[in-house]
Copies of this chain bind each other. A is one copy, B any other.
Amino acid sequence: MQIIAEPKKMQLLSEQLRREGKLLGFVPTMGALHEGHLRLIRKARREADVVIVSIFVNPIQFNDPEDLAKYPRTFNEDVYKLEMEGVQILFAPTAEQMYPPGFSTFVEVQNLDRYMEGAHRPGHFRGVTTVVLKLFNITKPHFAVFGLKDAQQYYIVKRMVEDLNLDVEMVPHETVREPDGLAMSSRNRLLSPESRRQATALYRALKLGKEMIFSGERDPWKVKDEMRRFLKREAPLGEIDYVEIASIPDLQPVSEIEGKILLALAVKFPEARLIDNFILLPEDRLVWNERID
């Protein structure tokens, strides 16, 4: 595996590979790789001639300096895992290379960032869209794979790709879960044993909400109230940031449950803040992101 830190060098290599007719797949990560990341990478491997993975803990998407400081960093293990997966190129720049002195340009997707993560992490999505656009320009992929645990991020980046006419296909991948339902996340390893036990409540609350909706409930407030009550009981160590039911793809809270919707929640445990979601199409009793396998 080739490891590249210099943006210009990465860009030249990608341009050369494109001219050779190679199909480039890209998986952006912040490292601390787990099985969830590896599934995205395997999906990219099946479709692409060359897979590029990036590892970059993007400072401008962290609104909380403490969260940035304690974000897990496991570079050597990550490199080993990527080698095992047959990844051809790792792009791992420094913050100074991505944001040299005088850096002044930011990309914003309006409206879609108004609720959920956008409301609770001011500036977060601006940091995400800016770094993803930079990474796309540097790695020049034909397609990029994004995990749906960050569903709001996926729809915001997809909106940016369409609005800015980026020539990159957005490929979503279902949330990968632990056997007890907890969505895989680099932050899970920060949890105390008791927080880890209670963290399964996020998944179970989503299942509860789904059951209510599939049983015919169309009032979002009733569903959200029930889920909140459940979380308070089952995860007393956690503080609820939000439980939301939003339209897809415009991510606005709904006043009546219909069409494709995002059922999303965020809970702050003492050691880490966790998020999870289901995507539902109630009329067809379809659900994404629920599966454990």
Contacts and interface: CB of A to CB of B under 8 A. Distances in A.
Interface centre among A102, A109, A159 (most CB of B within 10 A): A102
Given A138-B165, A167-B11, A110 B106 contact: yes
A134 to B, nearest CB: 5
A129 B108 CA distance: 12
Contacts of A159: 102, 104-105
A130 B129 CA distance: 14
A65 B183 CA distance: 50
A163 B103 contact: yes
25 contacts: A11-B165, A11-B167, A103-B163, A104-B109, A104-B110, A104-B111, A104-B163, A105-B107, A105-B108, A105-B110, A105-B129, A105-B160, A105-B163, A105-B164, A106-B107, A106-B108, A106-B110, A107-B107, A107-B108, A130-B164, A134-B163, A134-B165, A137-B166, A137-B167, A138-B165
A250 B109 contact: no
Interface of A: 7, 11, 15, 18-19, 21, 102-112, 129-130, 133-134, 137-138, 140, 159-160, 163-167, 250
A15 B142 CA distance: 11
A138 B129 CA distance: 19
A138 B167 CA distance: 8
Contacts of A108: 105-108
Contacts of A166: 137
A7 B167 CA distance: 11
A165 B106 contact: no
Nearest to A249: B102
Contacts of A106: 107-108, 110
A7 B166 CA distance: 11
A52 to B, nearest CB: 14
A273 B140 CA distance: 41
B105 A7 contact: no
A140 B166 CA distance: 10
Contacts of A134: 163-165
Interface centre among A105, A106, A109, A137 (most CB of B within 10 A): A105
Contacts of A11: 165, 167
A134 B164 CA distance: 5
Given A18-B19, A19-B18, A7 B165 contact: yes
Contacts of A21: 19
Contacts of A18: 18-19
A145 to B, nearest CB: 20
Nearest to A137: B165
A129 to B, nearest CB: 8
Contacts of A160: 105
A165 B26 CA distance: 17
